[in-house]
Amino acid sequence: MKDDQYEDDDIEYVSKSELKRDAERLKVMGKELSEMTPAKWAELPISENLRSALKESQRLKQNEAKRRHLQYIGKLMREEDVDAIQHALDLMDPSSEVFGRLIRQQEMWRTRLINDNNGLNDFIEEYPHVDRQQLRNLVRNASKEMSSEPPKPGSNYKKLFQLIREVMAD
């Protein structure tokens, strides 16, 4: 009878050390967030409570008060979607693997749009909210720039990349 009672419970035991490591990781992430500008906070999926606590942490100057406040920020972060915040931070950090993968994907789309006739249709199918006329004009002009001898990427080549970045960010 007792065995049946415990079989239904899917209790996952977490050690005290693991809880401490998680709390420390959240505190470190909170410190990283507190050192950012408020404009960067706007790009992150964080609650208004955490945003105001981060703003307050920038006001504090004394080390002990700042340390206690960082612990409070770590506590607030337990209620946040930490994975989503970490992903957003990775997208902002040029040295991260996620950022590098995104840039490579954007460069691949740019190359494909310029070199492949079906690339334009594929991109529009993948991202239907793109301004089609602007995209077609940039692809046509960038193709002209790249067809010169020797191929020289010009302003349209860069503008096409910027458009791809904006579209993929939405």
Residues 2-23 pLDDT 10s: 555 555 566 778 888 988 888 8
Q: Which of 33, 67, 92 is the last residue of a domain?
A: 92
Evaluate if residue 147 carries a pLDDT over 80: no
Predicted confidence at residue 108, as pLDDT, reads 92
Q: Find the DSSP H helices in 8-154.
A: 16-34, 38-41, 48-59, 63-77, 82-92, 97-115, 117-126, 132-147
- Cβ(90)–Cβ(100) under 8 Å? no
* Last residue within a domain, chosen from 67, 92, 117: 92
Q: Report the domain count for the chain.
A: 2
On whether both 83 and 14 belong to a single domain, the answer is yes
What is the average per-residue pLDDT within 59-66? 88
Do 108 and 53 share a domain, yes or no?
no
Same domain, residue pair 37 and 78: yes
Q: Are residues 15 and 88 in the same domain?
A: yes
User: What would you measure as the largest C-alpha separation in the chain, in angstroms?
Assistant: 83
* Model confidence pLDDT, tens digit, residues 31-58: 888 888 888 888 888 899 999 999 998 8
User: Which pLDDT value is given to residue 114?
Assistant: 86
**44 plus 80 within the same structural domain:** yes
Q: Is residue 17 part of a domain?
A: yes
Looking at the whole model, is its pTM more than 0.75? no
What gap in Å lies between CA 80 and CA 82, rounded to an integer?
6
Range of the domain at 112: 97-169
Q: Output b/e per residue, 20-48; b: 16+ Cβ within 10 A.
A: eeeeeebbebbeebbeeeeeeeeebebee
